[in-house]
């Protein structure tokens, strides 16, 4: 079925009325079914549907490339034009006093220059920074422990221990690498023997590849690809330790193809992981989860949930009844669609055998008749579990958004 999304945005409630009857008749959820599911202690689905293969095997078109890497590059450029938080650092205008940095370990980007307070919901936590992230470095904090940095999708205060300074030419190898590896696991650890440290990378992290053995490297010959692993020297400058690249299910040369099945497979890699507010607890919150899945295929979306829902080019602002909202997913929107409001975002992965739309999400908490419960986990759910007002959660979703 061909859907014209720009027309759908204008149809609003009329679409809802047209689809409402169809969903109940086609195996969707009516009021009595919603009431039954609202009684469940936890919204997490743990049966056979909680396996990526359940979804990929049911989608005969799942390996078709939805958007090419050339189209993704153009898409990313358009997203940066529409969204202030997204930046092409290599092309960013800089002042004379800018310094060039590369993250050397996973760090916490802070809204103010203070260290994390140890809580799960630290209000000063902005996001996590992966090793190899290029940074534009500006002023230092008064105590000299933090620097204000700009990265590809956020800005804030980063501990000086988490990055190293370098010259622009070296920095460009991280900001605009010609060849690179992409972490495709939910998280991936790399031991740097030269530095004697293990670094944690999260899905979507890019590690530049040397096109030939670097000068002074005594490893294998033959021009095998080498990971350019960064570390911080004692004087705060960047040191690079080349390591042979081993490509497997956790590390891919270049981005994954953008397919429906890769949205599913990448999303399920996080299933069961702890919910990490702003990247705390070495994990993901709701919007880090969705942005990491997208980034593993090369698609840069904003970091925050409220911006993600409005930034993708094809979207519907939801109106009307719950059944109408579910029908838009089952009829009009593809796997990988984001469902968002001002505080939360989820990723649609398809319909189960009964025609029920399902989502993956990093869920902090849920509600039942006894009140609020903290789940703090990446889970598979339906869309009719109760929100804080006791209504089906889909009622509070503002946007359905997709790349095409």
Give the tens place of pLDDT for each residue, 280-303.
999 999 999 999 999 999 999 999
User: Please, what is the average pLDDT of the chain?
Assistant: 88
**pTM recorded for the entire structure:** 0.88
Q: Is 87 inside any structural domain?
A: no
Q: Using alpha carbons, list the distances in angstroms from residue 318 to 287, 296, 396, 403.
A: 20, 28, 9, 17
Quick one: 182 and 48 in the same domain? no
13 or 270, which is more confident? 270
Cα(305)–Cα(350) distance, integer angstroms: 21
Q: Is 23 inside any structural domain?
A: yes
Binning pLDDT at 50, 70 and 90, where does residue 311 land?
confident
Quick one: 115 and 195 in the same domain? yes
Binning pLDDT at 50, 70 and 90, where does residue 218 land?
low
Quick one: 300 and 178 in the same domain? no
Q: Is 318 inside any structural domain?
A: yes
- Please check the confidence at residue 18 and state whether its pLDDT lies above 90: no
Quick one: 213 and 156 in the same domain? yes
Percent of the chain clearing pLDDT 90 (strictly above): 78
Quick one: 246 and 286 in the same domain? no
**Using one digit for the tens of pLDDT, what is the confidence trace for 328-349?**
998 889 999 999 999 999 999 9
DSSP category for residue 213: P
pLDDT at 350: 96
* Residues 6 or more apart in contact with residue 316 via CB below 8 angstroms: 5, 8, 9, 15, 328, 332, 333, 399, 400
CATH of the domain at 188: 2.30.30.40
Quick one: 278 and 374 in the same domain? yes
- Please check the confidence at residue 324 and state whether its pLDDT lies above 80: yes
Q: Is 388 inside any structural domain?
A: yes
Query: Taking a C-beta distance cutoff of 8 angstroms, is the pair 387, 51 a contact?
Result: no
Q: Is 84 inside any structural domain?
A: no
Lowest-pLDDT choice from 1-5, 150-154, 240-244: 1-5
- Please check the confidence at residue 127 and state whether its pLDDT lies above 60: yes
Query: Taking a C-beta distance cutoff of 8 angstroms, is the pair 247, 224 a contact?
Result: no
319 or 104, which is more confident? 104
Cα(369)–Cα(387) distance, integer angstroms: 11
Residue 32 burial class via C-beta count within 10 angstroms: exposed 0-12, middle 13-18, buried 19 and up: exposed
Quick one: 148 and 190 in the same domain? yes
> Within 13 Å of residue 381, how many CA atoms lie on the same side as its CB?
28
CB neighbourhood size of 95 (10 A): 7
pLDDT at 207: 98
Q: Mean pLDDT across the stretch 117-134?
A: 97
Q: Is 173 inside any structural domain?
A: yes
- Please check the confidence at residue 212 and state whether its pLDDT lies above 70: no
Quick one: 246 and 268 in the same domain? no
pLDDT at 12: 38
Percent of the chain clearing pLDDT 70 (strictly above): 87
Residue at which a domain ends, from 219, 253, 287: 253
CB neighbourhood size of 68 (10 A): 12
Residue at which a domain ends, from 237, 253, 269: 253
Q: Mean pLDDT across the stretch 72-79?
A: 94
pLDDT at 14: 32
Our count of domains for the chain comes to 2
Q: Is 201 inside any structural domain?
A: yes
Q: Is 85 inside any structural domain?
A: no
Quick one: 264 and 319 in the same domain? yes
Quick one: 286 and 193 in the same domain? no
Quick one: 313 and 340 in the same domain? yes
Cα(265)–Cα(336) distance, integer angstroms: 11
Chain-centroid distance of CA 163 in Å reads 22
Q: Mean pLDDT across the stretch 141-166?
A: 98
CATH of the domain at 333: 3.90.1720.10
Residue at which a domain ends, from 200, 221, 253: 253
**Using one digit for the tens of pLDDT, what is the confidence trace for 227-257?**
999 999 999 999 999 999 999 999 999 999 9
Quick one: 196 and 215 in the same domain? yes
Helix H or strand E encompassing 23: helix 13-25
Containing structural domain, residue 131: 94-253
222 or 27, which is more confident? 222
CB neighbourhood size of 316 (10 A): 23
Cα(380)–Cα(374) distance, integer angstroms: 16
Q: Using alpha carbons, list the distances in angstroms from residue 140 to 99, 147, 260.
A: 11, 4, 44
């Amino acid at each position: 079925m061909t859907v014209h999304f720009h027309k759908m945005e204008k149809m609003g409630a009329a679409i809802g009325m047209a689809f409402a009857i169809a969903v109940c008749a086609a195996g969707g959820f009516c009021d009595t079914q919603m009431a039954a599911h609202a009684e469940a202690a936890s919204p997490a689905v743990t049966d056979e549907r909680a396996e990526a293969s359940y979804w990929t095997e049911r989608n005969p078109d799942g390996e078709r490339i939805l958007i090419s890497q050339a189209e993704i590059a153009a898409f990313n450029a358009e997203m940066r034009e529409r969204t202030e938080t997204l930046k092409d650092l290599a092309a960013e205008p800089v002042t004379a006093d800018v310094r060039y940095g590369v993250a050397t370990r996973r760090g916490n980007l802070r809204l103010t220059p203070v260290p994390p307070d140890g809580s799960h919901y630290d209000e000063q936590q902005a996001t996590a920074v992966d090793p190899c992230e290029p940074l534009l470095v500006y002023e230092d904090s008064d105590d000299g422990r933090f620097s204000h940095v700009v990265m590809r999708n956020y800005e804030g205060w980063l501990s000086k221990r988490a990055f190293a300074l370098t010259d622009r030419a070296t920095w460009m190898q991280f900001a605009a690498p010609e060849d690179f590896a992409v972490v495709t696991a939910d998280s991936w650890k790399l031991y740097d023997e030269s530095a004697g440290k293990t670094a944690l990378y999260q899905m979507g992290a890019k590690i530049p590849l040397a096109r030939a053995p670097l000068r002074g490297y005594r490893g294998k010959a033959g021009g095998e690809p080498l990971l350019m692993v960064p570390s911080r020297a004692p004087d705060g400058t960047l040191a690079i330790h080349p390591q042979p690249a081993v490509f497997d299910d956790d590390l891919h040369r270049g981005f994954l193809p953008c397919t429906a099945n890769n949205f599913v497979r990448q999303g399920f890699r996080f299933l069961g992981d702890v919910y990490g507010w702003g990247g705390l607890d070495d994990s993901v919150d709701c919007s880090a989860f969705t942005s990491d899945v997208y980034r593993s295929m090369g698609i840069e979306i904003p970091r925050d949930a409220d911006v993600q829902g409005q930034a993708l080019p094809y979207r519907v602002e939801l109106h009307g009844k719950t059944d109408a909202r579910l029908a838009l997913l089952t009829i009009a929107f593809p796997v990988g669609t984001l469902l968002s409001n001002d505080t939360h975002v989820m990723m649609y992965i398809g319909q189960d055998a009964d025609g029920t739309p399902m989502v993956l999400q990093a869920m902090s908490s849920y509600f039942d008749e006894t009140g609020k419960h903290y789940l703090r986990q990446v889970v598979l759910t339906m869309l009719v579990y109760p929100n804080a007002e006791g209504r089906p959660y889909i009622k509070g979703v503002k946007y359905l958004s997709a790349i095409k």
